[in-house]
Amino acid sequence: MNQEERKQYVRFRFVADKGQSPVRIDRFLVDRIENASRNKIQQAIDQGKVWVNNRYIKSNYKVRPSDEIEVLSFEEPKIYEVIPEDIALDIVYEDDQVLIINKPAGMIVHPGVGNYSGTLSNALAYYLGNEIHKGDRHPYLVHRIDKNTSGLLLVAKDEDSTRFLSEQFKAHTITRKYNALVWGRPTEDTGTIETNITRSNQNRKVFTVTHEEEVGKHAITHYRVIEDFTYVSLVECKLETGRTHQIRVHMKHLGHPLFSDEMYGGDRILKGVVFSKYKQFVENCFKMMPRQALHAKTLGFIHPKTKEEMFFDSELPNDFTQVLNRWRSINKAYDFSKED
């Protein structure tokens, strides 16, 4: 396969950070390719499907700073067409370069296996009059939030704006603040969680903190407690990095999983003595908000054309507000601590 032929089969492309420490290529890729096991990646390497700096490499190759890595598709590249769909959008702001969307919980951002319709990409394609096909990505989603996380998303409308905004994400100068309802109360009212995050060996959909320096991706979350409800707390989380499930993983690592977060164990009573009245109260809250209590509330960036600072803030959605109000009311009416 020559250089030009290879380009037609590239499925993933990565550039190692300038500060990248030496790490085996399979470990490097397993943290960056969704649903890929180390065994599958090693097979791809053995089959000549992984190239570094335009050269085929062996499985014991160690990634170095600024390496350019390409992973080729096992099959003929599949071309998916994102069909424009008339789906209502909550547009917070729009101009010729950017679009700010307040995404509801339950909406997937990008199409994927089993989810080719009903996504934010389908809705944007319809709204902007663009058909997204043959590998094109218009409009440009420069970041994402989980399906069951609500809140603000930044969309670029052209390639120049995409590059400008992407550089801000890489430099960690984008302001992103989330509100999260977590089990318990952190010991300190403010703090910083700094770890590496990697996929769990037991469940590839779940991420976990790792203490191995060369494994996973570096992640930093700053937090502060906003309100204390005895057994749960409303916390503001400010992202310095933007790793998959970062807040959910970091708060669990701190000992305070997100309320109603099934994937990370927050969908059961973790704080408080389980007596009938309290148990019923919590179960009602779970029914009211059957998803992780996480909302992307604030977004700040430098505008790609005007170069002015822009900040946007969003209200908590109804399910989040209703659960918070229930915790506020029950704490005023009943002292749970008497049951300890």
Any idea which residues carry the catalytic annotation? 146
Q: List Cα–Cα distances, 313 to 89, 99, 286, 295, 316, in angstroms.
A: 17, 14, 26, 11, 10
Torsion, Cα of 317, 244, 121, 37 (10° steps): -140
| DSSP secondary structure letters along 121-166 | HHHHHHHTT--B-TT---SEE-----TT-EEEEEEESSHHHHHHHH
Categorise residue 184: left if φ over 0, alpha if ψ from -120 to 50, beta otherwise: left
Residue type, 238: K
User: Please, what is the Cα angle at 30 between 71 and 149, to 5 degrees?
Assistant: 105
